[in-house]
Amino acid sequence: MAEQHIVCYSGGLSSALVALDVARRHGKNNVVLLNHDMHFSVEHADIKRFKRDVAEHLGLPLTFASRRNASQDQFDVCVESQAFKVGNGSELCTARLKTEPFMEWLAANASKDSSTIYYGFDATEPGRIQRRIGIMGSQGWKTDYPRLWSDKQFNDTEAIGIARPCTYSVFKHGNCIGCLKAGWQHWYIVYCTRPDIWLKGMWAEEEIGHAIHWDGDQPVYLEEMQPRFAAMKAAGIPATEHIPQQRFWADAKRIINIKVLQQDLLPCECTEDA
């Protein structure tokens, strides 16, 4: 089997830069842009535009490893399984929408002898890289991290005439809107800008009887946060992930009485719990 270069192509900026550098180094023959296409209500149309634009620039097709029931978003798969987490505590939506289709695709289309899987992690993420090397390596898969290459050439897509997704103006990553792994700062943006997704999150919590967010061992339901977020919105607290979380919550606490355990959001991985 010919050498195969599989880019975990999420629709985010880093994975696009990885695709550009992998194609530059290896030529575009045998490069696969592997994407999990998310439901249109939670994956912004401009992310879908961006992944198409970069693929067209490279002259490569998009290859989809998506859940068979494409009508399901992160809330639907959780309600179907009546849980937000899988056994090891990681997000069920990642498992259903990304990991399982990814591993199925690899089993059917890739070879442990001749395939390399490329991720968009960079030098600020050594822990995630080590974890990925360990998980995939233990299953016999070879991985590589082009954002660490000393000869990488791409640091933005604007240089090739492709604007990054407009979602980066408020979000730091290309994750689903209403990400079940995200902290409250992300969900404040959802509250302010996507009331449809906020309501769907409330519906899922009610159907499952469990909260998406926890403060230690205490559940904190979206419904409880609603009046607080309304007060923050009325006070003009900006809905963005680009304000550092310490400053964001310091400003919020001037308006509402709240203790928030805020985690920095990381991009969702294809193989979170593989």
Which spans of this chain sit near ligand SF4 (rule: CB under 6 A)? 74, 91, 93-94, 97-98, 175-176, 179-181, 268
Burial of 259 from C-beta contacts in 10 A (0-12 / 13-18 / 19+): exposed
Q: Which is nearer to ligand SF4, 97 or 274 (CB)?
A: 97
- CB–CB of 181/173 below 8 Å? no
CB of 167 to ligand SF4, least distance (A): 12
Contact 252, 225 (CB under 8 A): no
Residue 161, number of CB atoms within 10 A of its CB: 8
Question: What residue type is assigned to position 18 of the chain?
Answer: V
Q: How far is the CB of 24 from ligand SF4 (least distance, A)?
A: 28
> Whole-number minimum distance, CB 253 to ligand SF4, in Å?
26
CB of 161 to ligand SF4, least distance (A): 28
Q: Give the nearest distance from C-beta 118 to ligand SF4 in angstroms.
A: 19
Burial call 100-127: b when 16+ CB within 10 Å, e when fewer: bbbbebbeeebeeeebbbbbbbbeebee
Measured from the CB atom, the residue of 98 and 228 that comes closer to ligand SF4 is 98
Closest separation between CB of residue 35 and ligand SF4, Å? 13
**CA 234 vs CA 192, 194, 230: distances in Å:** 10, 16, 6
Residues 67-90 as b/e (b if ≥16 CB within 10 A, e otherwise) read beeeebbbbbbbbeeeebbbeeee
Other C-beta atoms lying within 10 Å of the C-beta of residue 9: 26
Q: Which is nearer to ligand SF4, 170 or 255 (CB)?
A: 170
Please give the residue whose beta carbon sits closest to ligand SF4 in the complex: 268
Reference 116, options 236, 13, 18, 225; nearest CA is: 18
- Contact assessment for residue 48 and residue 8, using Cβ atoms and an 8 Å cutoff: no
Q: Which is nearer to ligand SF4, 145 or 187 (CB)?
A: 187
**Cβ proximity to ligand SF4, 60 vs 179, nearer residue:** 179
Q: How far apart are CA 24 and CA 153, in angstroms?
A: 9
- How many Å separate Cα 65 from the centre of its chain? 15
Nearer to ligand SF4, 91 or 125 (CB): 91
**Closest approach of Cβ 196 to ligand SF4, in Å?**
15
Residue closer to ligand SF4 (CB basis): 232 or 268: 268
